[in-house]
Structure 1
Amino acid sequence: MWTKIPSGGLRITGADRVDFVQGQMTGDLRGAPTPGLVACAFLNVRGQIETFARAYRRTDDVYLHVDAGEAEALAARLGRYIIFDQVEVKDVSDDLRCVHVWPGASVAGWNADGPDVQTFELGGGVVLVGRVNRTGAAGLDLHYLTRHESAVLAALDGEETPLAGLDVARIAAGIPDIARDGFVGTLPQEVGLDVGGPLPAISYRKGCYVGQEIMARLEARGNTRYHLARLEGESLPRGADILHGGKVVGQTGLNAGGLSLARLRKEVGDGAEVEVGGLPATVHPLSPVPHTT
């Protein structure tokens, strides 16, 4: 079973590529193996998420896998910080495609006992594959050249599951998707990206980066006013205010399978009845729940 992931990407090359990207992202790329994979965010000076990415550290480059339509803006942002760095940033969104192979499905050439990032031949071309948890257990993000798409997809086991089915599974598992849930502009700790969260993407020990001062203050304070929660309710609109006792207490993410992830004030506990866009909803425990696809 596999799902196409609408996405884009940047290829960073040059002698200073690792140090340069390290100084922009929240994750610790320098501490990753080669090859390796690090989830991360690129923040503004207020510590709010501009872009979520998965950074692949390889022998000759750094590949930043981002959501569809976000590569151009991230490339422009990185370009503003290139001064004396020996780096080149190239948008490869048109050249590459990605599918997520669900847990349990096999991929010819993948070594289940090997590293989290592997490169091998599939469908007549070389593919880049990384372990990524999108559904509550680790599956595989498989990146391949656009011109090889037909052959690569034909080489995969099982049938295609639409993106909507993946959304049902990930929301049931409590895993955010920053772009699809509309959580851009929030603090990472508010939407599950903190250490110990469902999608950890921050290192508090890696050194300076844009927004790092705010992250350090939040670590010292020990908490934020909001956290990642989940609402139970049908057809709740994405990006809508959540009302509790007549007050706005958060915002909703994508709704799928009768559930929505949400940025919610911590004092609103599990079981609380809330309102979203005139529709009733209940705060649901964030622990995984059964789902069907």
Structure 2
Amino acid sequence: MWTRLPSSALRLTGPDRVDFVQGQMTNNLKAAPAPGMVPCAFLNVRGQIEFFARAYKREADVYLHLDAGQAQGLAGRLRRYIIFDQVEVGDVTDTLRSVHLWQEGALPGWNAAGGDVQRLELGSGTVLAGRVNRTGTRGLDLHFLAAHEAEVLAALGGEERPLDELDAARIAAGIPDVVRDGLLGTLPQEIGLDVGGPLPAISYRKGCYVGQEIMARLEARGNARYHLARLVGQGLPDHAEVTQGGKVVGQTGQHAAGLSLARLRKELLPGQEVEVGGIPAVVEVLSPLTASAPPTDA
């Protein structure tokens, strides 16, 4: 099974590309092999998420895979920080396509014992494949030229599944999608992006970056007031305020199959009742071991 991913993308080239983007992102791209990939966030000075990406480090470039509509904004931000760096930022959204393969073993030519990022041929097209857990089971994100889309998908075979099914699977697994869940503007620690969370995208041991001081303070004090939880309830609205006794205590992401992910106040306990748009729901705190990858600070 595979699903088309609404995507945008940037390609960074030039001899300073890795050092430059390392100084902007929350995770440690320098520690990744080439080829390799790390999820990361780009923060503002208050530590809030402006963009989320998966950064692929390759021998000749850095490829940033983002949700649809995000590349232009991130490109503008990155270009504002280029001073003496030898780096070029190109928007390659229109020339690339991305799909998620639900099971990594379904990709012809994939080496299950190999690295997390591999390059292979499907039909006459070259595919960049990276291990990504979007459903609770490790799968693959595949990136390829739009001109080769028909050949790649024909060689891939299998059944196309709609995006709402992929969303339902990830919500059930407790895996956030920062953009689709409407969680931009929040702190990474509040929505499962911390080390050991379901989508770890921070290193506390790398060099400085925009918002790093706030991240260090949160690591030292451990005082984020919100965390990622799940709400159980039928027909809960997407991207809505969560209330209890008339007080706003959080916000929901997308809803599917009676479940919603939510950024929720930590003092709310499992089993407590809340409301989302006037509809009752029950709090279900996610286990810290509900993770898309083993906890890491690399």
> Do they fold alike, i.e. is TM over 0.5?
yes
Deviation at 1:207, TM superposition (A): 1.1
**One-letter amino acid matched to 2:49:** I
Quote the residue 2:209 is aligned against.
209
Give the aligned length. Answer: 288
SS at match of 2:29: coil
CA distance in 2, matches of 1:28, 1:186: 20
Quote the residue 2:172 is aligned against.
172
Deviation at 1:78, TM superposition (A): 0.1
Q: Give matches, 1:41-60, under 5 Å.
A: 41-60=41-60
Quote the residue 2:19 is aligned against.
19
Quote the residue 1:129 is aligned against.
129
Identical counterparts, % of pairs: 72
Report the TM-score, using the length of structure 1 for normalisation.
0.96
> Could you tell me whether the CA contact under 8 Å between 1:53 and 1:66 is conserved in 2?
yes
**One-letter amino acid matched to 1:175:** I
SS at match of 2:196: coil
Q: Give matches, 1:216-227, under 5 Å.
A: 216-227=216-227
1:120 and 2:120 are equivalent in the alignment: yes
Gaps of 5+ in 1: 289-293
Quote the residue 2:191 is aligned against.
191
Gaps of 5+ in 2: 291-298
> Could you tell me whether the CA contact under 8 Å between 2:2 and 2:100 is conserved in 1?
yes
Q: Give matches, 1:241-280, under 5 Å.
A: 241-280=241-280
CA distance in 2, matches of 1:149, 1:92: 15
SS at match of 2:202: coil
CA distance in 2, matches of 1:157, 1:201: 32
**One-letter amino acid matched to 2:114:** G
> Could you tell me whether the CA contact under 8 Å between 1:107 and 1:157 is conserved in 2?
no
Question: Deviation per CA, 1:103-129, whole angstroms, max 9, x where unpaired?
Answer: 265111211110000111112111100
SS at match of 1:94: helix
**One-letter amino acid matched to 2:167:** D
Quote the residue 1:143 is aligned against.
143
CA distance in 1, matches of 2:132, 2:216: 27
Deviation at 1:157, TM superposition (A): 3.4
CA distance in 1, matches of 2:158, 2:30: 37
CA distance in 1, matches of 2:104, 2:49: 32
SS at match of 1:30: helix
Report the TM-score, using the length of structure 2 for normalisation.
0.95
CA distance in 1, matches of 2:88, 2:36: 20
CA distance in 2, matches of 1:60, 1:274: 50
SS at match of 1:83: coil
Q: Give matches, 1:104-119, under 5 Å.
A: 105-119=105-119
